Amino acid sequence: MAFSKTLRRLVLAAATFAATSPSYALDLSGQTVTVLVPFGEGGGSDTLARFLQPFLKDALPGKPNVVVLNKPGGGSVTGVNGWVGSAKADGTDILVGSTSSWVPFVFGSSTVKYDPSAMRPVVGFPRVSVFYTNPERTGVKGASTKQGVDELRGATLLKGAEAPLSLDTGDLVALHMLDIPHRAVFGMSTSEQRRAFLNGEVSANNDSLAAYLDITKSEGPERVSPLFVLGGVDGNGKAKRIDGLPDVMTFEELYEATNGQAPSGPEYKTYQVMHYLRTNLAKSIMLPPGTPDDIVTAYVTAFQALERNAKYINGMKANLEVESFVYGQDMVDAFAGISGFGAEERSAVEAYMRETHGVALK
Amino acid sequence: MFDPLVSSLAIIANTTHLLMLTTGVVLGLIVGVLPGLGGSAGLALLLPFIYGMDPAPALAMMVGLLAVTTTSDTFPAVLMGIPGTAGSQATVLDGFPMSKRGEATRAISAGLVSSIFGGVIGAIVLSIALVFAEPLLRRIGFSEQLMLIVFALSMVGMMTGTSHFKGLASCGLGLMLGAFGAAPITGVERLGFGTEYLIEPIPMIIVGLGLFAIPEIVSLARQQTAISESGRLKAGWLAGLRDWKNNWWLSLRCAIIGCLGGALPGIGGSVIDWIAYGHAIQTTKNPERYGTGDVRGVIAPESANNAKEGGALIPTLIFGIPGSGNMAILLGGFILIGIQPGLSMIRDNGDVVYSVVWSLALANILGAGFCLLFARYIAWLTTIPYLLIAPFMIGLIYFASFQATRGWGDLVAMFVLGILGVYLKRFGWSRPALLIGFVLAPQIESNVYRASTIYGWEMFTRPIVLVLIGLTILSVVSVMRRRVPESVHKTAACTYANTVPQKAFFILLAGFAAYVFTDGFGYNFLTGTFQVVAGGASLVFMVPLGIQLFLGSRTSCHFDEEGALEAHGVRVSGEHYVAVLAFFLACVGLFGFLVGAGFFIGAFLVWKARVRVHWAVMSGAAFSLFLFFIAYQLNLQYPTGLLNRLLPFWP
């Protein structure tokens, strides 16, 4: 009697389970998803993670508890190293990927113990940026033309850069390819570069579209003139313009307009890799290497479903400056794009740094 | 033009707003009082709830939180000698000796009143600066920043202690410690010894705690008294208020220093309290009394560190460029509530901007008010036998250091710098001078390079630069005039017969400087130069110091605290407590941080303080529970130990 009762309950439970189990292979109910931010509190990645936290909680199958874990140190390398080593491939550990983590990988830093192309990207949040100059310092307005470049060749641009081997290397190489005389001040963070441009201490800067629009609004066209845009790279490896600034050329178009042929060679390859890093790979959500396809799919589905949530879209686009949402093959392509920085590119950058800036990279 | 100042008053004067502000203030007080946690950890907690909120109450909550962390951090600084945030390091210097005299209440009430005053001055300056400061801020370029740093560095002269060479060499030591980690100009890894931990500079919080908190814990534990040496607590609530009233002019000057330091780029928030402290020594009577428990040494930094937040808000609101680490995360909050800081916001959303000003002022008053309510009760801690408190303090300090990068590396760095701090204290090296050197090192390096690359000699033709040079000369002259002459004191510490330990320590430091100096030549110019200069400068001061130390007998540089301690009949050696600190690491290595810290506390209480086992076990468990609670709230993952690896269920 007692036995059959137990049996009946078991059968009932099994039937209920079968009927209610979700169509995803992934069920995170009762679990905790840890979002790793490889930086301390504050800053872009942390803000993004904390913004996503409540949305993810509702969007993921099983409505898991979602927590943000900050692991600062080593300019984000420490956090990502640790994450790759310890993250479980069951969908409970995700990473906020950002440019800062991929740049040291591209430059072959010995401390990096991860390969981003082995990770499983879920969604990318590309940003776009604008390279602009200060006409008050250069005497050149409307620089994004062949004539503008010709005139700029008579001036010397002063630009801040984080380090000789950094994201900003791409901008410097671009100026070099355009034959625009320039000097670099190394060791400046993004916000220090912005401030120095505002103060008129440097005459060129590369910043996000939102920051560019803001600075144009407050300073006026007399002090801000766009040279070229970095609107991201499409699936064919072609640089895109920015919809909001249709008249400003990409670096590739500007180069072709001035030199009559498309850019090529290891220096251009360097620029292109930095372009991927700065735009397509600005921010992303990653699952650890070895995560099964069905879990990746469940995550992608959850993020795609979020796009129907107006509150999420508004926050991402208006507040967090996210241009678009990129999934699947496009993300894989972007990571493939940064593999282009090899030995030839490195020695080209070393030669350029030595000859133009007198900096030895050893 | 101040219309919004009035209309914004309507925004904040409603229940929701005040409720949010109070919530922020209470949270801020809590994270401020816990060593290692600052405003950014607290703000990060709020961020997920901010999106979608009305801007004004959200701002009130965030500003309320940020405004008061430097109010409540006065408690650990004064009562325990532990700087709770970087802003209260200078407070320790005089606040803690006051506690030792049984004057904790007086020190705290003077500090809190200074905090209120500084905070309100900060809000007033902010409200004016939002209208007028923009053109001035634009003139602060790299050459001006460099001169500001040189000016800040001149304060070292006020903090050298009795031996000037030793003080300057201490500063050199700080510069060398500041050279660790990737070079700020080239990003090349430098003095990293192949470790991942030293890709970034040594965290400020760890240097501060290692130099100031650990040596105090060790020396108090050795003396086995309560913090208040008499074991009693003098009433001093009103005395503190009177102290502030008598020094209101000093407090005002320091508040202005705080505002300026927060608003101007270059120096960074963490030396502002030291500049205020140095300024107090330079401009008041009886400079020799600072460091021995002079209340002015509490008023000066406490006035400055609360005013700093108002100052740091100026560039944050005007340019959208963060004035400090706290401001960086506040900007994140701004983004989430859809506010784009900048000149256009000040023009178009004046109400919202000025509601920040009001919130700031109100939060400072509220925060200090809450603290005053509790001050009397918390101050009793100083009358408890120290051996009962010490293990908790050690646990808290390791917890604080762990906040830096949330890993094992922090605990090890804390231990190493703690040992350094213990011997620096013992042999009379100036820890404030070291700290100033450490904090300014990266700034000096970057700004010398930037100013010379951009301006060359032209930098000396800029008007603000000239003003700053003038100020620096004034400061140096006042250092020269006011410094206490090097005289040989006949104290037990100076006449201690066994000079071998201090000579050995000197040789160790000189060897370190020589290593840093020569190692620098192995890098390219932009990477290695700073290291060469820092090591070289240290050697320049160390050579005459060494000559004095080895050849002279009974000169002003001879100092060994052991002499004084032996006279007091202290038996337990400093090395014994260094071993105790190592034992803590061993516990963590075995049990993981959560359980290990509790185990350490229990063991310490039984063996050292002779507490009954069941009480000791309960105390240890309570601490672990407390750690668990914080980890749960802030989502921290503590360093794991051997047992965590072997047993998957181990907490």
Q: Provide the Cα torsion B237, B239, B241, B242; round to 10°.
A: 160
Whether B48 sits inside 8 A of A54 (CB atoms) is yes
Mean pLDDT of chain B: 89
pLDDT at res. B287: 84
pLDDT at res. B326: 81
pLDDT at res. B284: 87
Interface of A with B in 236-295 (CB under 8 A): none
Residue A66 counted as domain residue: yes
Residue A362 counted as domain residue: no
Assign residue A61 the CATH number of its domain: 3.40.190.150
What are the pLDDT digits (tens) for B238-280? 999 999 999 999 999 999 999 999 998 877 778 899 999 999 9
What are the pLDDT digits (tens) for B308-361? 999 999 999 988 888 777 888 888 888 888 888 888 788 888 888 888 999 999
Interface with chain B: mutation pick from A111, A113, A194, A195, highest number of B CBs within 10 Å: A195
A357 near B CB under 8 A: no
Residue A305 counted as domain residue: yes
Q: Are B401 and B207 in contact (CB under 8 A)?
A: no
Domain of residue A314, residue span? 25-126+280-324
pLDDT at res. A4: 53
pLDDT at res. A351: 96
Mark whether A289 and A198 lie in a shared domain: no
pLDDT at res. B487: 65
> Cα–Cα distance between B225 and B572 in angstroms, integer?
13
- Least CB–CB distance from A74: residue in B141, B196, B449: B196
pLDDT at res. A246: 94
Task: Find the closest chain A residue to B319 by CA distance.
Answer: A195
What are the pLDDT digits (tens) for B10-37? 777 888 889 999 999 999 999 888 887 8
Mark whether A216 and A165 lie in a shared domain: yes
Percentage of chain B modeled with pLDDT above 90: 54
What are the pLDDT digits (tens) for A30-77? 999 999 999 988 888 999 999 999 999 999 999 999 999 999 888 899
**Residue of higher predicted confidence among A49 and B47:** A49
Assign residue A179 the CATH number of its domain: 3.40.190.10
Mark whether A54 and A163 lie in a shared domain: no
- Under the banding of pLDDT at 50, 70 and 90, the label for residue A15 is very low
pLDDT at res. A5: 56
Whether B44 sits inside 8 A of A72 (CB atoms) is no
B139 near A CB under 8 A: yes
- Whether the per-residue pLDDT at A314 is higher than 60: the answer is yes
Q: DSSP H helical segments within B483-612, as ranges?
A: 500-520, 525-551, 561-567, 574-591, 593-607
Whether A51 sits inside 8 A of B51 (CB atoms) is yes
- Whether the per-residue pLDDT at B288 is higher than 90: the answer is no
B530 near A CB under 8 A: no
Mark whether A174 and A295 lie in a shared domain: no
What are the pLDDT digits (tens) for A171-195? 999 999 999 999 999 999 998 999 9
pLDDT at res. B605: 96
What are the pLDDT digits (tens) for B202-247? 998 899 999 999 999 998 899 888 888 888 888 788 999 999 999 9
pLDDT at res. B343: 80
B184 near A CB under 8 A: yes
A74 near B CB under 8 A: yes
- Whether the per-residue pLDDT at B632 is higher than 70: the answer is yes
Mark whether A87 and A184 lie in a shared domain: no
Lookup: tokens for B30: 């809590």
- Under the banding of pLDDT at 50, 70 and 90, the label for residue B554 is low
Mark whether A45 and A185 lie in a shared domain: no
Mark whether A264 and A304 lie in a shared domain: no
Residue A38 counted as domain residue: yes
Residues 6+ apart with CB under 8 A from A219: A198
Residue A158 counted as domain residue: yes
Count of domains for chain A: 2
Interface of B with A in 262-291 (CB under 8 A): 265
Interface with chain B: mutation pick from A56, A183, A199, highest number of B CBs within 10 Å: A199
pLDDT at res. B200: 87
pLDDT at res. B480: 80
The backbone region for A188, taken as left when phi is positive above 0, alpha when psi lies in -120 to 50, beta otherwise, is: beta
Sheet containing strand A225-230, edge to edge, reads A182-186, A157-161, A204-208, A129-133, A225-230
Mark whether A205 and A61 lie in a shared domain: no
The DSSP H or E segment spanning B434 is helix B431-454
The secondary structure of residue B129, as a DSSP letter, is H
pLDDT at res. A8: 57
Quick one: average pLDDT of B422-446?
93
- Whether the per-residue pLDDT at B569 is higher than 80: the answer is no
Quick one: average pLDDT of B98-115?
93
Mark whether A35 and A136 lie in a shared domain: no
- Under the banding of pLDDT at 50, 70 and 90, the label for residue A19 is very low
Residue A334 counted as domain residue: no
- Least CB–CB distance from A75: residue in B47, B200, B322: B200
Mark whether A135 and A259 lie in a shared domain: yes
> Cα–Cα distance between A263 and A252 in angstroms, integer?
6
Residue found under tokens 């040279």: A227
> Cα–Cα distance between B598 and A174 in angstroms, integer?
57
Residue A6 counted as domain residue: no
What are the pLDDT digits (tens) for A277-291? 999 999 999 999 999
Instruction: Name the 3-class secondary structure at A287.
Output: strand
Residues of B whose CB is below 8 A from A208:
none
Residues of B whose CB is below 8 A from A217:
344
Write the CA distances from A32 to A22, A56, A306, integer angstroms: 18, 11, 19
Residue A1 counted as domain residue: no
Measure A6 CA to nearest chain B CA, in Å.
Answer: 31
Whether B453 sits inside 8 A of A70 (CB atoms) is no
Mean pLDDT of chain A: 90
ipTM: 0.86
CA B481 to the chain's CA centroid: 28
pLDDT at res. A43: 82
The secondary structure of residue A130, as a DSSP letter, is E
A340 near B CB under 8 A: no
Least confident of A160-169, A351-360, B470-479: B470-479
Whether B197 sits inside 8 A of A41 (CB atoms) is no
Interface of B with A in 325-344 (CB under 8 A): 325-326, 328-329, 331-332, 335-338, 340, 342-344
Measure B40 CA to nearest chain A CA, in Å.
Answer: 6
What are the pLDDT digits (tens) for B170-182? 999 999 999 999 8
> Cα–Cα distance between A362 and B525 in angstroms, integer?
10
What are the pLDDT digits (tens) for A159-172? 999 999 999 999 99
> Cα–Cα distance between A273 and A166 in angstroms, integer?
11
Residues of A whose CB is below 8 A from B322:
191
Task: Find the closest chain A residue to B447 by CA distance.
Answer: A187
Residues of A whose CB is below 8 A from B407:
71, 73, 78, 82
Sign of the four-CA dihedral B564, B567, B570, B574 = positive
pLDDT at res. A48: 94
Task: Find the closest chain B residue to A316 by CA distance.
Answer: B336
The DSSP H or E segment spanning B618 is helix B613-634
The DSSP H or E segment spanning A120 is strand A120-125
Interface with chain A: mutation pick from B145, B637, B638, highest number of A CBs within 10 Å: B637
Show the CA angle centred on residue A189, arms to residues A185 and A192, nearest 5°: 80
For helices B55-72 and B104-138, give the axis angle rounded to 10 degrees. Answer: 130
Mark whether A170 and A220 lie in a shared domain: yes
- Under the banding of pLDDT at 50, 70 and 90, the label for residue A20 is very low
pLDDT at res. B38: 79
Lookup: tokens for A51: 């913004």
- Whether the per-residue pLDDT at A1 is higher than 60: the answer is no
Measure A347 CA to nearest chain B CA, in Å.
Answer: 17
Quick one: average pLDDT of B554-569?
80
pLDDT at res. B83: 85
Interface size, chain A vs chain B, as Cβ–Cβ contacts under 8 Å: 161
Measure A38 CA to nearest chain B CA, in Å.
Answer: 10
B170 near A CB under 8 A: no
Mark whether A43 and A191 lie in a shared domain: no
pLDDT at res. B2: 62
> Cα–Cα distance between B48 and A49 in angstroms, integer?
9
Strand partners, A132: A205, A226
Lookup: tokens for A150: 């010709």
